[in-house]
Structure 1
Amino acid sequence: MTHQGYAPHDRPLPGARSGGHPEQHEPGAARGTGAAAGAVYGDWQGVPRARSAGPRPSAAPPAPVPVPVQARSAVLDGDTPAFGTPAVGFPRITLDPPPAPRRAEPDPFTAAAFTSTSTGARPRVPGPRLPVEPPRPAEAAEIEEAAAPPGSGRGRRLRTYTGLAAVAVTTVLAVVVAGQVASDDDAAGPGALAAPGGSPSRASDSHAAGSRSEDRMAPQGPARPEVPVAAPELTYEQKMAERLPIEEKLAGPGTFDTVPGIAKAPGRGKLVRYRVDVEQGLGMDAQLFAEAVHRTLNDPRSWGHGGARTFERVPGGEADFVITLASPGTTGVWCAKSGLDTTVDNVSCDSAATDRVMINAFRWAQGSVTYGPDQMLAYRQMLINHEVGHRLGHGHVSCRTAGALAPIMQQQTKSLDIDGIPCKPNPWVFPGN
């Protein structure tokens, strides 16, 4: 019979086993002399014993007796004592090598070939191939530590490295789990955790309270500039009902701007073309003034009533007259060209000697006492109809019936009570239609 790992004995010891694991010796230790020296192992008590052929007992071996360093050194160095001094009084000790790691038995499901026996070949058993799990780092470290020679210090280093690795892995796992829990809490929102009874847990309440506190205590960035909210667009009637600021004795430069664009005549009848000019520097809405003129003249209650006329605004060229919005001083200048004095009551006029129908900007902006501030739209319509009536050839007319509407050609800016007959304000030529 062939033995693996050590030479056969001339005289086998009782209970000695054949085969098994190879011998493992302490580095630097002498194996002794003679065949019997290699086959006999000593224990920590110094009593020789033979190697057993059967399995090792499951009971733990007796506790080792500490061996003095000098004696151990002498034994490990073989027959020669350390430093030339014989080890007197200490028995010869041979260290028993630690057991080698167990080999994994071949898996019948993963065997690569038939197993030869004396009776023939045994076929491979069909079935699923089960992977053999390699030892984990901790188990590998234990195996390598067990295989390390005693006293070499390698086992301690392995235990230290294994412990550090385990601590690192545990720390990483704890960080990952904590991050996952925090992410789940954020996704669930405040109050997501609940106690077994269904009510929110204290942890959830404290978390929500902490979140609210953090929100309240969070530093605020620079204040954003407030964007002015655009006022809603006013209607034509709303714009025409507003009073405008102006000086009573304002005198403008006497230069004018023509309102561009064309406003087509909307009706049938005799076509009357007009142009609209606004003095520079008034600060008033020229487009609104032009719109007011066009709407007023083409209203059925105005001079185009019954299809008699239709009015069209043009930016230049052949215009029958020019309706001009001017300051009180400029209005007085143009009215004086036709022998009219508007400075006494700060009124408007039709300068018949020229092509301009003058509308006093002070009256346009402030109205009159006869109409009051609540009837600005009606007063402005009366100004346009009254002065254009002069251009169309109509003179002044006074009210003859008390309590009736004043005729459009009455001087309503000055008074609604002429010759003791009180009348009501009226902006239209044909007010009943």
Structure 2
Amino acid sequence: MAIPSSGNPAAAGGEPTGWTAAGHGAQAGAGLPLPRQRQAPPDGPRQDYLDAFAEDDDLFTFRRSASARPPDPYAAVTDWNTAPAPAVPSGPGDGAPPSGGPAQTGGGRGRTFTGIAAAAVTTVLAVVVAGQVADGPGGADAQAQSATDQVREVRDPASRGDDRETPAEASGAEQPTYEQKMERKYALGATFAGSGKFDAIPGIDKAPGRGQKITYRVDVEQGLGLDGELFAEAVQKTLNDNRSWAHNGARTFERVHSGRVDFVITLASPGTTADWCARSGLDTTVDNVSCDSAATERVMINAYRWAQGAETYGDRIHAYRQMLINHEIGHRLGHGHVTCDKDGDLAPVMQQQTKFVDHDGIDCRPNPWPYPKG
């Protein structure tokens, strides 16, 4: 089927700078439908939004909105209640006699054989995992991990970056906090292309405020090996922070798992992100960035960036993820790209901080928030 396009080419460098998708919108806190366009409204930006940056006069460009779009025809909510396939039954236990014969008694030779067998299994695992890692979501980046470390991941799921239950979880041991999980980087290849099929994260996160209520769904591409529930929690916490687009009660965000929504924030592989962004005339491949695919219902978050971050933020991966969410939702709310204009100032959240913080001889500071003063 034909895919609507904005008609605008992607900005040089792979991240959009112009937006023409149809939508509907309102000033923050007006109680009207969610803005989608990028033209400035007649009254200009909210004064309290500009006041968030004391030294900057023109931080964000507001855009006009148009009519509502039809629901996303590409949404694919799969059955998240499907039980996993049963484990393959194991063979006879150690030392079981063949054909019902008597079990051998323990001894030095038996222990020696057990040690040799264990070493052989470890070696085989190392060879198999090392040979297969290049084909999985980790891609070339995961190959930097030694075969021994990858065998450790097979034998100890606690070292993995996905959401499968670990022995520690099964035993009731203390689990990492939300903050600890958000401070970790996870393996995912820069060129990984996923299945293109999505699962909606189940459950509802009620809107905590009384401002203009915006509803959204969180979709995660199948096969990423990332914690989708962590991503959904991060989106809800970030958007409803007073430093974010819910500032001063202007908006309140509610996550649902089905029905009509204002947008679908989607965690997807670099390949799938590029496909969906191209439907809105945007090229995300040059710098492996994310986008608001404004001709569709989807705000695309590049899973490589979510997992690995960007050089501009270094090890501050938690703050980078907050910036990533706020930046792309900022586009969906009608904001265009702007830059820091004075040495030492915070970069506006709508600066392309994945690509650069300093520019044109001006030294800016990384900043994940639209209203950093809270």
1:396 is aligned, of 337, 346, 364, to 337
SS in 1 for 2:300: strand
Structure 1: which amino acid aligns with 2:317? Answer: M
Residue 417 of structure 1, CA deviation: 1.2
Tell me which residue corresponds to 1:286.
Answer: 228
Check if 1:311 corresponds to 2:259. Answer: no
Structure 1: which amino acid aligns with 2:207? Answer: A
Q: Identity percentage over the alignment?
A: 68
Check if 1:246 corresponds to 2:212. Answer: no
Q: Distance in 2 between matches of 1:391 and 1:313?
A: 16
Within a 5 Å distance, the mapping from 1:250-289 to structure 2 comes to 250-289=192-231
Q: Distance in 2 between matches of 1:262 and 1:416?
A: 35
Q: List per-residue Cα deviations over 1:262-290 (Å, max 9, x = no partner).
A: 10000110000000000000011111000
Q: Distance in 1 between matches of 2:279 and 2:359?
A: 28
| Equivalences, count | 213
Q: List per-residue Cα deviations over 1:93-117 (Å, max 9, x = no partner).
A: xxxxxxxxxxxxxxxxxxxxxxxxx
Q: Distance in 1 between matches of 2:357 and 2:246?
A: 25
2:306 is aligned, of 364, 373, 377, to 364
Structure 2: which amino acid aligns with 1:415? Answer: F
Q: List per-residue Cα deviations over 1:204-256 (Å, max 9, x = no partner).
A: xxxxxxxxxxxxxxx9xx99xxx965563001000001000011100001010
Q: Distance in 2 between matches of 1:339 and 1:417?
A: 27
Q: Where do 5+ consecutive residues of structure 2 fail to align?
A: 1-106, 115-155, 157-166
Tell me which residue corresponds to 1:383.
Answer: 324
Q: List per-residue Cα deviations over 1:294-313 (Å, max 9, x = no partner).
A: 00000010001011000000
Tell me which residue corresponds to 1:350.
Answer: 292
SS in 2 for 1:418: coil
Tell me which residue corresponds to 1:415.
Answer: 356
Structure 2: which amino acid aligns with 1:256? Answer: F
Q: Distance in 2 between matches of 1:262 and 1:418?
A: 41
Tell me which residue corresponds to 1:180.
Answer: none
Structure 2: which amino acid aligns with 1:359? Answer: I
Tell me which residue corresponds to 2:91.
Answer: none
The structure that has the greater radius of gyration is 1
Runs of 4+ that moved beyond 6 A: none
Q: List per-residue Cα deviations over 1:130-182 (Å, max 9, x = no partner).
A: xxxxxxxxxxxxxxxxxxxxxxxxxxxxxxxxxxxxxxxxxxxxxxxxxxxxx
1:405 is aligned, of 341, 346, 356, to 346
Residue 430 of structure 1, CA deviation: 0.7
Check if 1:337 corresponds to 2:264. Answer: no
Structure 1: which amino acid aligns with 2:369? Answer: W
Q: Distance in 2 between matches of 1:340 and 1:376?
A: 25
SS in 1 for 2:254: strand
Q: Distance in 2 between matches of 1:239 and 1:232?
A: 13
Q: Distance in 1 between matches of 2:187 and 2:350?
A: 27
Structure 2: which amino acid aligns with 1:309? Answer: R
SS in 1 for 2:223: coil
Q: Distance in 2 between matches of 1:413 and 1:288?
A: 21
Q: Distance in 2 between matches of 1:420 and 1:347?
A: 23
Tell me which residue corresponds to 2:370.
Answer: 429
Q: List per-residue Cα deviations over 1:9-30 (Å, max 9, x = no partner).
A: xxxxxxxxxxxxxxxxxxxxxx
Structure 1: which amino acid aligns with 2:311? Answer: V
Tell me which residue corresponds to 2:103.
Answer: none
Q: Distance in 1 between matches of 2:273 and 2:350?
A: 20
Residue 422 of structure 1, CA deviation: 1.2
Q: List per-residue Cα deviations over 1:328-368 (Å, max 9, x = no partner).
A: 00000000111110000000000000000000000000000
Tell me which residue corresponds to 2:263.
Answer: 321
2:175 is aligned, of 233, 238, 244, to 233
Greater RCO structure (CA 8 Å; 6+ sep): 2
SS in 2 for 1:422: coil
Residue 419 of structure 1, CA deviation: 2.0
Q: Distance in 2 between matches of 1:249 and 1:232?
A: 35
Residue 418 of structure 1, CA deviation: 1.9
Residue 412 of structure 1, CA deviation: 0.2
Q: Where do 5+ consecutive residues of structure 1 fail to align?
A: 1-218
Tell me which residue corresponds to 1:147.
Answer: none
Residue 401 of structure 1, CA deviation: 1.0
